[in-house]
Amino acid sequence: MLPVFFWYHQNVKSKVAIIRGSSLNSWEMQNYAPLAQEFDLLAIGSEEVKYDTAQVGFPIAKLKTLADMRSKLGPLKKLPLMGRLSDRFLHLDTLLSDVDIVHSAETFNVYSEQAADLKSRCRFKLVLTVWENIPFLWNGVGSDSGRVHRRKQKVIQATDHFIAITERAKAALLLEGVDEKKISVVPMGIDIERFTPQAKDTTVMQRFDLSEKDFVILSVGFLSWYKGMQDLIYAAGRLKQQGLVDKHHLKFVIVGDGPDKAEIYRLIDRVGVRDIFRTVEKVPYEDMVRTHNLADIFYLGSWPAKVWQEQFGMVLLEAMACGKPIVAAESGSIPEVVGPKKGPALPKGLTKQNSQDQPAAVLVPPADFYQLSRVLANLITNQTRRVEMGLAGRERVKENFTDRKIASQIGVLYNTLFDKVK
């Protein structure tokens, strides 16, 4: 990580501060790293970030937030007032006093409100990335909903341009009153030179207690009930009852942590599939490509809820770039990511089973373990279809979701706004 003073002494390029608070992470920042040659970038996170930042690729400033202080207050941190402090930075104005563009995220984040408050004094343009795809989220939920509504309205008024990650996120912004001329739809992307099909790594296989003959179904995600991991567990139990587990040496690998982890782990035992499940809480981002390449099928579940619909699914891009067939819930913005795609020619020795092009994914209804088990059973026994889907998925990522393509689109927007600054 480079010191902050290094960033402030570069005066040739326009300066862009990317604020993500405790959610700063390597996988999103890879979409900005290619811009470092053209812009003077700084990522701003809290001292206690939740995710891996080792692969960000440009300078990071980790500022103290009131939430960082709250974590040291012991029992006092449970007071309602403490819970509202969130990612409010101390001395953010110092970092933003000499920038051209501030790029924050989500209308409801406290640090987005801070940026909105500082905009007129510091004279920067404000860009906002929006993943949220539920209109008016939090405006009527919880005891603090009025405050959140006022915050969102302030941020919307102050933002010069919105980057919606999906068309669904754009539609939510339009319903909240944002001018369509101020919205660009720019998805996330990944480095397809890093995420590429590879042979299964024997070291990683040993780490997960897997053998060469195992057929692996992988899922990576936050372990909360609304992410649908329970459907995979139920489906695994059904496949075991049908004899497919033994016949095809099925193993299920779950990577993730979250508030419902203990309950999900207990469910694995209750369903009687502990012997075929492998679980790990965290994998460093630099090791994710080898983890994805363990899979024969990748699964992402999701249950729509009052305050949640799947917003994107970066792991879907990673798995598709690695040539993996996808099974996912038809929920939120998932269909936009994995959507239908013309498939390329098959490798020598395999022939298409029908005249239609194979999509990259099979979508199943949320909370439907029965249908999920049927889809998995079909793919497990159908190598040609898995190969077709994997090839189609990688082509889809190459055409639509590379980090350099996404960075280029963001760069065009920055230059447009920078011209307005001058």
pLDDT value, residue 357:
55
Q: What is the average per-residue pLDDT within 125-146?
A: 82
Residue 145 pLDDT class (50, 70, 90 cuts): confident
Residue 356 pLDDT class (50, 70, 90 cuts): very low
pLDDT value, residue 280:
94
Over residues 308-344, the pLDDT tens digits come to: 899 999 999 999 999 999 999 999 999 999 986 444 4
Instruction: Write the CB contacts of 145 (distance below 8 Å, at least 6 apart in sequence).
Output: 138, 139
Neighbour count for residue 204 (Cβ, 10 Å):
15
pLDDT value, residue 12:
66
Q: What are phi and psi of 62, to 5 degrees?
A: -105, 105
Share of the chain above pLDDT 70, in %: 86
Share of the chain above pLDDT 90, in %: 74
Sequence ranges of the domains in the chain = 4-189+402-421, 202-400
pLDDT of 138 strictly over 90: no
pLDDT value, residue 168:
96
Rounded CA separation 310/225 (Å): 13
pLDDT value, residue 211:
96
User: Between these two residues, 253 and 138, which has the higher pLDDT value?
Assistant: 253
DSSP state, 39? S
Output the average pLDDT for the chain.
88
pLDDT of 180 strictly over 60: yes
Q: What is the DSSP string of 201-244?
A: PHHHHHHTT--TT-EEEEEE---SGGG-HHHHHHHHHHHHHTTH
User: Between these two residues, 31 and 54, which has the higher pLDDT value?
Assistant: 31
pLDDT value, residue 51:
86
What does the CA dihedral 363, 365, 371, 377 come to, rounded to 10 degrees?
20
pLDDT value, residue 208:
95
pLDDT value, residue 3:
47
Domains 4-189+402-421 and 202-400 share a fold: yes
CA 96 to chain centre: 27
Instruction: Write the CB contacts of 79 (distance below 8 Å, at least 6 apart in sequence).
Output: none
Query: By the 8 A CB rule, do 156 and 177 touch?
Result: yes
Over residues 264-291, the pLDDT tens digits come to: 999 999 999 999 999 999 898 889 999 9
Q: What is the average per-residue pLDDT within 213-239?
A: 96
Rounded CA separation 61/45 (Å): 6
Q: What is the average per-residue pLDDT within 221-238?
A: 95
Q: In what order do the strands lie in the sheet containing 277-280? A: 277-280, 250-255, 215-220, 297-300, 326-329, 361-364
pLDDT value, residue 353:
45
pLDDT value, residue 115:
96
pLDDT of 346 strictly over 50: no
Query: By the 8 A CB rule, do 327 and 364 touch?
Result: yes
Q: Which two tokens stand for residue 327?
A: 């099974």
Over residues 74-122, the pLDDT tens digits come to: 554 554 444 445 678 988 999 999 999 999 999 999 999 999 999 999 9
**Matching CATH number, 202-400, of 3.30.450.40, 3.40.250.10, 3.40.50.2000, 3.10.310.10:** 3.40.50.2000
Could you name the CATH architecture of 4-189+402-421?
3-Layer(aba) Sandwich (3.40)
In terms of average pLDDT, the best of 129-138, 343-352, 397-406 is 397-406
- Lookup result for tokens 């694995």: 268
